[in-house]
Amino acid sequence: MSDFSNFLSPGRKGHLVGIGGVSMSSLAEVLFGMGIGVTGSDTNESFNVSQLRAKGISVSIGHRAENIPAEVDFLVRTAAVHDDNPEIAWAREHDIPVFERTEAWGAISRDYRNALCISGTHGKTTTTSMCTHILMAADRDPTVMIGGTLPLLNAGHRVGHGNTIVMEACEYYNSFLSFHPTVAVILNIEADHLDFFKDLEDVERSFRAFAERVPQDGFVVANYDDENTMQTLEGLDRKRITFGLSAAADVHARNIRFLGANSQFDIIYRGRKFTDVTLHVPGMHNVKNALAATAAAICLGIRPTAVKYGLAGFNGAGRRFEFKGKFNGADVYDDYAHHPGELKVLLDTVETLNYKRTVLVFQPHTYSRTAALFDDFVTQLRRPDVLLLAEIFAAREKNTIGISSASLAQQVPNSVFFPSFSELEGALRALARPGDIILTVGAGDVYKIGEHLVAEE
């Protein structure tokens, strides 16, 4: 198969199938900025599609062979686009090379002297965003690819002109094995994406292979506190910097003080104070994310003041404990958590904020994840004062398991399952009161519920 690197030159022409997605729209802009002609297609109009058109990129709605320009050198597809897609089928018939999105990003990353890739079961978007703030404070002019929106960029990506790229690196379908990291960050490793991986051992093998992609003069940044991560990296012959709350980690925090939703702490690097930090996002998990971002910055030779001011300027990423507004005196937040481990971190954080009631609106993500981690979900979903369950967001799956959010509701006291968003919104509207925190949580479209309520105020 052709190497995508052969197409990274001005004047080439590419067509992106599924161009409206977060990573694909970012890829389109990066390729366009390199002087490559870009067109694309998607199933729906969206904000990303509008932004691409505003930059001069032609986007068709619906997938048809005639969307592809007469002169095209390659196609790139998102993971949701399969071989029976009419545009992919046309390309195959006409011997036009078709690349996966991650192959394209991987080829792009190879062109940078510093390729910082952030991986892990949880925390990737936030830590990649923190790293972006630090790199911007250090005047590194980075290229950026994040799986969410960062207010600093008003987007999930940035086309820079420096020698550094920072990328969120996802393990699903072994996607990150197409990347070429010079600094690979592993935040944590848990059993997830079990519709693809067989078990935790299979997940660990994938992360090990990712770490082994780092060259001998590169770095692996690892979570000292995470047993699975340290076990996965045992015996790895790469330079390593660890981070964690333990004083045995190379990069750790000292004198942690929580002041409402903020935290202040000193960052210690191998026995010496590196800098002090004020963080404007809540929770111990964000202290850990900041330590990971600092360890990555140390690998890149970034000065302490850039870390200090970069982290001080970070106020969160889109859909990561994002404040949406108020409804009937309650604070409405949205979060992307869709794994029991992420739910635990979210609820741990909320419990420190002294709200009278926690009202959780949860939309499970994929049938396979809900079934495989059912008992762990039940444990976390019993914690809020009120639980309203939306139906499972299918994403890429069909319900061959016969599972529903109603199955979770049967195991959780003080919970109600609603087959439709309209019914759920009505119930939420009736119960919301001052002193509540309302959390819309999940990786699907549950955020729309909170946005509808806030828009009524």
Q: Which residues of 224-234 are buried (b: 16+ CB within 10 A; e: fewer)?
A: bbbebbbebbe
Distance CA 411, CA 29 (A): 46
- Give me the pLDDT at residue 193, please: 86
Domain 112-312 has CATH 3.40.50.970: no
Distance CA 130, CA 168 (A): 12
219, two tokens: 């770095």
- Give me the pLDDT at residue 445, please: 92
CATH for 322-456 is 3.90.190.20
- Give me the pLDDT at residue 367, please: 95
Distance CA 87, CA 40 (A): 10
pLDDT tens for each residue of the chain, 457 residues long:
469 999 999 999 999 999 998 889 989 988 998 899 999 999 989 888 998 999 999 999 999 999 999 999 999 998 879 899 999 999 999 999 999 999 999 999 998 999 999 999 999 999 999 999 999 999 999 999 998 889 999 888 888 999 999 999 999 889 999 999 999 999 999 989 888 899 999 999 999 999 999 999 999 999 999 999 999 999 999 999 999 999 999 999 999 999 888 999 999 999 999 999 999 999 999 999 999 999 999 999 999 999 999 999 999 888 889 999 999 999 999 999 999 999 999 999 999 999 999 999 999 999 999 999 999 999 999 999 999 999 999 987 899 999 999 999 999 998 999 999 999 999 999 999 999 999 999 999 999 999 999 998 7
User: How many CB atoms neighbour CB 304 within 10 A?
Assistant: 17
Length of the chain: 457
Distance CA 405, CA 251 (A): 41
Beta carbons of 252 and 243 less than 8 angstroms apart: yes
In the chain, domain spans: 4-100, 112-312, 322-456
- Give me the pLDDT at residue 1, please: 47
3-state DSSP of the chain:
CCCHHHHCCCCCEEEEECCCCHHHHHHHHHHHHCCCEEEEEECCCCHHHHHHHHCCCEEEECCCHHHCCCCCCEEEECCCCCCCCHHHHHHHHCCCCEEEHHHHHHHHHCCCCEEEEEECCCCHHHHHHHHHHHHHHCCCCCEEEEEEEECCCCEEEECCCCCEEEEECCCHHHHHHHCCCCEEEECCCCCCCCCCCCCHHHHHHHHHHHHHCCCCCCEEEEECCCHHHHHHCCCCCCEEEEEECCCCCCEEEEEEEEECCEEEEEEEECCEEEEEEEECCCCHHHHHHHHHHHHHHHHCCCCHHHHHHHHHCCCCCCCCCEEEEEECCEEEEEECCCCHHHHHHHHHHHHCCCCCEEEEEECCECHHHHHHCHHHHHHHHCCCCEEEEECCECCCCCCCCCCCHHHHHCCCCCEEEECCHHHHHHHHHHHCCCCEEEEEECCCCCHHHHHHHHHHC
Residues annotated as catalytic are 124-125, 168
129, two tokens: 């965003």
Q: Which CATH number fits domain 4-100: 3.40.50.720, 3.30.300.30, 1.10.287.890, 2.60.40.1220?
A: 3.40.50.720
